[in-house]
Amino acid sequence: MSILDLSVTGGHTAPGEDGGGILNTGALVLTRVTIRGNSTGDGPPATDGGAGGGVFSSGGTLSIADSTVTGNVTGSGGPWARVGTGGFAGSGGNGGGIGVRQGTLTVERSSVGGNRTGNGGDSSAAPGAEGDSWAHGGYGGGIWSTQRTTGTDSAVCDNTAGDGGTGGPVGSSPSGSAGHGGPGGNGGGAYVAGTATFTHSMLCRNSSGGAGTGGSGTARGYDGNAGDGGGLWTGSGMATLADTTITDNRTGSPGTVRPGTPGSGGGIYDHTGDLTVTGGRLARNRSGRDGGGVGLHSTRKRPVAHFRITGAKITGNLAGGNGGGIAVSSVHDTAAHVLADSVVTGNTAARGGGIHLGSGNTVQLDHDTIGGNRPDDCVPPGCGGSR
């Protein structure tokens, strides 16, 4: 089915249902379509919010060209309200602008901007709850996809993933304890669990979700963890970026009273997948923890996840922990990552201002410019390679 030259606005689903503006279960092509100001319903109690605030596609193919997806919102998770028993509230709906489950997504010459996913469900009305909330903010403020995703000549900017849910307060029983807050949503701009390819595109000014607040009382719960991947979160597939600009993205707040773990990967967070970057720029991205520009974390044994970055400029990024420009923590890594013909300058972190490598990790450096990073250029010194 093809839809051309149409505006889809003001749609809203029933509680917990998907597809605020458009719901697709087949093959759908959208050309010169504006999808604006649609929303999915909040989840019923202990149920997730609806996915795909603008458009949701399940089990089919979705192609979007010369179109705009803006100002759409997914529902928040439903609350957990049972008194005196542990449990979980629902999570925020995934895919503020576009949500794709078990299907493919192609976006060409289009803008996905100003969308937001819902927050995790609120457990604050459940005194005596033994369990934690753990209801996460919705993933993928702009785009959420579980399969192959391709973006060409497109912009994914100014999107936000939802915050984690609030934990339940301390109850009246001696064994009662407050619930912890839920984690913030991953992937402020885009969350892709499958193969991701972005070419001549831009991911800018996106934010992953902040931590949910821990339950109140004398034994207050911990705040949740902040979401990872301010601009882009990629999972078990291969992520390929060519001549793509990733700027001014950030991870959400980890909380302020009993903070959880800050988010990693201000520009890109790669989780157990392979990452290839050719050309382009990663600049002025911020993470609370590791990898202001790029954070790669993997516990996978075979095949081991690696990055290859060629001809890229990684400048002016900031990490609160390790690796202002690049941070790598690949537990089973035995072969070198590759950084070639690239510039890593003016980045800042607590350790490894330019590049930080975890124990046993190495990087092969080939005609790179690495300098002017604070407090140092590489941890370990020289980054286990030669320039």
Q: Cβ(313)–Cβ(339) under 8 Å? A: no
For residue 180, what pLDDT is reported? 83
CA pair distance 38, 371, nearest whole angstrom: 46
C-alpha 61: how far from its chain's center? 22
Handedness of CA 163, 169, 174, 176 (dihedral sign): negative
Q: What are phi and psi of 378, to 5 degrees?
A: -145, 140
What's the pLDDT at 306?
78
Number of Cβ atoms within 10 Å of the Cβ of 272: 16
Give the Å distances, CA to CA, from 58 to 4, 184, 338. Answer: 21, 24, 37
DSSP for 34-59, please give it.
EEES-EEEPPSTTSPPPS-SSEEEES
Q: What DSSP character marks residue 375?
A: S
What token pair was written down for 308?
């290859």
Max Cα distance, the chain (Å): 64
- Asked if residue 305 lies in contact with residue 269, where contact means CB atoms within 8 angstroms, the answer is no
- State the pLDDT at residue 330: 75
Kind of pairing between the strands at 268-271 and 232-234: parallel
| CB-CB contact of 263 with 226 (8 Å) | yes
DSSP state of 383: G
End-to-end CA distance of the chain: 53
Task: Check residue 386 and give its pLDDT.
Answer: 44
CB neighbours of residue 183 within 10 Å:
32
Half-sphere exposure of 357 (CA within 13 A, CB side): 26
Task: Please give the single-letter amino acid code of residue 281.
Answer: R
Show the low-confidence residues of the chain (pLDDT under 50): 128-131, 172-175, 384-386
d(Cα 123, Cα 207) in Å, to the nearest integer? Answer: 24
Q: Measure the CA–CA gap between 109 and 155, rounded to whole angstroms.
A: 8
pLDDT of residue 174: 44
- β partners of residue 287: 319
Residue appearing with tokens 């979401």: 227
Over the stretch 273-319, which tens digit does the pLDDT of each residue have?
A: 789 999 999 999 999 999 999 999 876 655 555 789 999 999 999 99
* Residue-wise pLDDT tens digits, 126-153: 654 433 557 999 999 999 999 999 999 9
How far apart, in whole angstroms, are the C-alpha atoms of residue 253 and residue 273?
25
User: What residues contact 174, with CB distance under 8 A and at least 6 apart?
Assistant: none
Strand partners, 245: 202, 281
Distance (Å, whole) CA 262 – CA 249: 15
Contacts of 386 (CB under 8 A, 6+ apart): 365
Residues of the chain with pLDDT > 70: what percent?
90
Report the alpha-carbon distance of residue 121 to residue 179 in Å, rounded. 13
The first and second tokens of residue 127, run together, are 């005194």
Q: Is the pTM of this model over 0.75?
A: yes
pLDDT of residue 172: 44
Structure tokens at 84: 């005196």
**Residue 145 is encoded by which pair of tokens?**
């996809």
Closest CA to 316 of 256, 249, 261, 239: 249
